[in-house]
Amino acid sequence: MTDQAEQASAAQSASSEIPGKPTSASRTTLSHIMTHSDTNLLGTVHGGVIMKLVDDAAGAVAGRHSGGPAVTASMDEMAFLEPVRVGDLVHVKAQVNWTGRSSMEVGVRVLAERWNESTPATQVGSAYLVFAAVDADGKPRTVPPVLPETEKDKRRYQEAQIRRTHRLARRRAIMELRERRVAEGYED
């Protein structure tokens, strides 16, 4: 683990009684064969179908990592790299990249291969989602720190911290703009 990741994990562990979990503990793959009912007007698989699979896989990972219910808080950077066709076997691979007190960033890769061929799967999409762990009343609950295991996991952890910083800065800038506009007499 890098010094930055070790410090973040140590700080998180100190503020939490919950032991950390390795990235591999909740990593999962969801696979689904695309059919005609999944298509859009162009005859390829509808992006919303892929997004639902992405959210399902990420939700499973978030629930496994947090040890209970977790809800989607945001979806960042959903990228569609290649079209998916009827007959494609789609694999949605998800893992927790980073954890906060009650939130988790889940990274998702979407791969597709022909159902009846032995050619390698190609990456057709990716996304980053933020989930919040909740209790029975829907209130935030503490999650275990994620413990990156491989060099890829460590890189993903660091990149997730950058995305979090950008999400918070974007939110802050938007709120400041709205406050300025209200102070200037503009109604939204």
- What is the pLDDT at residue 13? 45
Q: What is the pLDDT of residues 107-135, one digit of tens each?
A: 999 999 998 998 899 999 999 999 999 99
Question: Is it the case that residue 7 has pLDDT exceeding 60?
Answer: no
Q: What is the pLDDT of residues 41-54, one digit of tens each?
A: 999 999 999 999 99
pLDDT bracket for residue 187 (50, 70, 90):
confident
- What is the pLDDT at residue 15? 45
- What is the pLDDT at residue 3? 52
- What is the pLDDT at residue 22? 97
Q: Mean pLDDT, to the nearest integer, of 10-29? A: 77
Q: What is the pLDDT of residues 150-160, one digit of tens each?
A: 999 999 999 99
**Count of alpha carbons within 13 Å of 48, Cβ hemisphere only?**
5
Residues 6 or more apart whose CB falls under 8 angstroms from that of 114 comprise 87, 88, 89
Q: Mean pLDDT, to the nearest integer, of 91-111? A: 98
- What is the pLDDT at residue 10? 47
**CA–CA distance, 69 with 161 (Å, rounded to integer):** 23
Across 2-11, 24-33, 126-135, 159-168, least confident range: 2-11
99 DSSP assignment: E
Q: State whether the Cα torsion 23-151-11-95 is positive or negative.
A: negative
Can you say how many angstroms the Cα of residue 99 is from the centroid of all Cα atoms in its chain?
Answer: 11
Tell the burial category of 46 from Cβ atoms under 10 Å away from its Cβ (0-12, 13-18, 19+).
Answer: middle
Q: Decide which of 37 and 9 is more confident.
A: 37
* Mean pLDDT of all residues belonging to the chain: 91
Q: What pTM was computed for the model?
A: 0.86
Tell the burial category of 33 from Cβ atoms under 10 Å away from its Cβ (0-12, 13-18, 19+).
Answer: exposed
- What is the pLDDT at residue 14? 43
Question: Is it the case that residue 184 has pLDDT exceeding 50?
Answer: yes
